[in-house]
């Protein structure tokens, strides 16, 4: 028996609060709730306060925000492509956003957080246009073609990133900060920079909920229901680009969050996007935060990249989905 959306939201909000609390307390050194409270609300300049407020608080905020962004982007990408194995990763959006950040930094000299965030969103948007445009010109937007074009574009983007990085050693260290796919050592300014972008992308997605519901069928059905296909797809691409670009600008290309989260959201609240998108945002926030906590203990005392954790889970989910499609 499926719970109502309100109960699902309440449960996910509770889980998110607990996971964020775990992010603040657990790690190489474990802190008590009293220490966390004092560090956040009565900062005394001690080492404990500096670690909690200066290092753990930013990742406890950035991880759920990036997870929420990728979760919502994944829902819209799977609806637009009518493909349950599509995601910002498999369509190359993360890779395109990463390439745009590298190009903006090396070739255009962009160094500001706002500039790099804008570059990431622009890269994701251009990638979405290229992937869907090439797939359409190749004979129609079939699910397989979209994924094949996306994977190909992602490979090309990664290759260009490697060439640019190896030919610009002066920028290598700074750009690896963006491209490592992690929440650790991120300044809290990235959270404040990404928050309005994610909010705008989420509002656009929620506003398109009814049109996205119709697009789950086929173009002729959606058009018969009065959906302006070109306008809806264009706005949805903008929303996906903003969400993916914001996530990459904050945390780098964290893998497969946009693949795993939409499946969980649909199981929890069903197919209606007015419920599916908020559920994906909350579940994505919980998933990314718990993955960040798990990364601290997988090879303790050394911290693993959170992208490795999400990639392993995502790869397993992808294999299961492919096996179901082949069965």
Which residue, among 195, 222, 224, 194, has the nearest Cα to 208 in the 3D structure?
222
Check which CATH number belongs to the domain holding 93 and give it. 1.10.3470.10
* pLDDT value of position 143: 62
* pLDDT value of position 111: 76
Distance CA 127, CA 95 (A): 9
pTM: 0.90
Is it the case that residue 103 has pLDDT exceeding 70? yes
Angle between helices 113-137 and 189-207 (to 10 degrees): 40
DSSP 236-292: HHHHHHHHHHHHHHHH---TTHHHHHHHHHHHHH-S-HHHHHHHHHHHHHHHHHHHH
Is it the case that residue 289 has pLDDT exceeding 80? yes
More confident residue, 57 or 301: 57
Is it the case that residue 2 has pLDDT exceeding 70? no
* pLDDT value of position 265: 95
Is it the case that residue 31 has pLDDT exceeding 80? yes
Q: Is 299 helix (H, G, I), strand (E, B) or coil?
A: strand
Distance CA 243, CA 164 (A): 25
Q: What is the mean pLDDT of residues 261-278?
A: 95
pLDDT bracket for residue 211 (50, 70, 90) = very high
Q: Which residues, in sequence order, are bridge partners of residue 302? A: 299
Q: What percent of the chain has pLDDT over 90?
A: 41
Q: What is the mean pLDDT of residues 64-72?
A: 97
Tokens of 269: 């609240």
Q: Which domain holds residue 212?
A: 5-326
More confident residue, 112 or 148: 148
Q: What percent of the chain has pLDDT over 70?
A: 94
pLDDT bracket for residue 105 (50, 70, 90) = confident
pLDDT bracket for residue 19 (50, 70, 90) = very high
* pLDDT value of position 323: 79
Q: What is the mean pLDDT of residues 42-64?
A: 92
Instruction: Give the tens place of pLDDT for each residue, 135-192.
Output: 778 766 666 677 788 888 889 998 998 888 887 776 676 677 667 778 988 889 889 9
Backbone dihedral angles phi then psi of residue 299, each to the nearest 5 degrees: -125, 40
Q: What is the mean pLDDT of residues 20-33?
A: 94
* pLDDT value of position 314: 84
Tokens of 209: 């909920």
Average pLDDT, the chain: 87
Integer CA distances (angstroms), 57 to 25, 60, 183, 266, in order: 10, 5, 11, 30
Is it the case that residue 20 has pLDDT exceeding 90? yes
Please count the structural domains in the chain.
1
Which residue, among 35, 182, 17, 179, has the nearest Cα to 100 in the 3D structure?
179
pLDDT bracket for residue 319 (50, 70, 90) = confident
Distance CA 261, CA 314 (A): 9
Instruction: Give the tens place of pLDDT for each residue, 221-253.
Output: 888 888 898 889 889 988 988 898 889 888 888
More confident residue, 107 or 113: 107
* pLDDT value of position 260: 92
* pLDDT value of position 164: 85
More confident residue, 129 or 198: 198
More confident residue, 122 or 18: 18
Which residue, among 311, 252, 320, 253, has the nearest Cα to 287 in the 3D structure?
311
Q: What is the mean pLDDT of residues 78-103?
A: 86
Is it the case that residue 59 has pLDDT exceeding 90? yes
Which residue, among 82, 131, 66, has the nearest Cα to 310 in the 3D structure?
66
Q: What is the mean pLDDT of residues 31-59?
A: 91
């Amino acid at each position: 028996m499926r719970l109502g959306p309100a109960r699902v939201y309440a449960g996910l909000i509770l889980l998110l609060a607990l996971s964020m609390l775990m992010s603040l307390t657990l790690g190489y050194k474990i802190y008590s709730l009293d220490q966390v409270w004092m560090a956040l609300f009565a900062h005394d300049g001690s080492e404990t306060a500096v670690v909690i407020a200066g290092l753990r608080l930013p990742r406890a905020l950035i991880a759920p925000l990036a997870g929420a962004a990728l979760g919502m982007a994944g829902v819209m990408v799977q609806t637009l492509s009518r493909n349950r194995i599509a995601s910002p990763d498999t369509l190359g959006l993360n890779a395109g956003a990463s390439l745009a950040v590298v190009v903006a930094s090396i070739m255009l000299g962009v160094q500001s957080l706002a500039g790099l965030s804008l570059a990431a969103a622009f890269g994701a948007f251009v990638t979405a246009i290229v992937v869907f445009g090439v797939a359409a010109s190749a004979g129609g937007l079939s699910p397989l073609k979209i994924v094949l074009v996306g994977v190909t574009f992602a490979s090309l983007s990664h290759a260009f990133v490697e060439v640019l990085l190896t030919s610009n050693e002066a920028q290598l260290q700074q750009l690896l900060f963006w491209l490592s796919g992690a929440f650790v050592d991120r300044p809290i300014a990235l959270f404040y920079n990404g928050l309005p972008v994610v909010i705008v992308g989420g509002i656009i997605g929620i506003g398109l909920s009814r049109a996205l519901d119709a697009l789950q069928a086929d173009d002729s059905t959606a058009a018969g229901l009065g959906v302006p296909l070109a306008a809806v797809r264009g706005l949805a691409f903008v929303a996906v680009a903003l969400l993916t670009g914001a996530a990459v600008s904050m945390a780098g290309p964290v893998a497969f969050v946009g693949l795993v989260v939409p499946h969980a959201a649909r199981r929890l609240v069903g197919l209606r996007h007015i419920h599916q998108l908020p559920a994906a945002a909350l579940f994505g926030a919980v998933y990314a935060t718990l993955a960040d906590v798990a990364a601290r203990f997988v090879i303790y005392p050394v911290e693993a990249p959170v992208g490795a954790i999400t990639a392993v889970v995502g790869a397993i989910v992808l294999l299961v989905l492919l096996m179901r499609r082949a069965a």
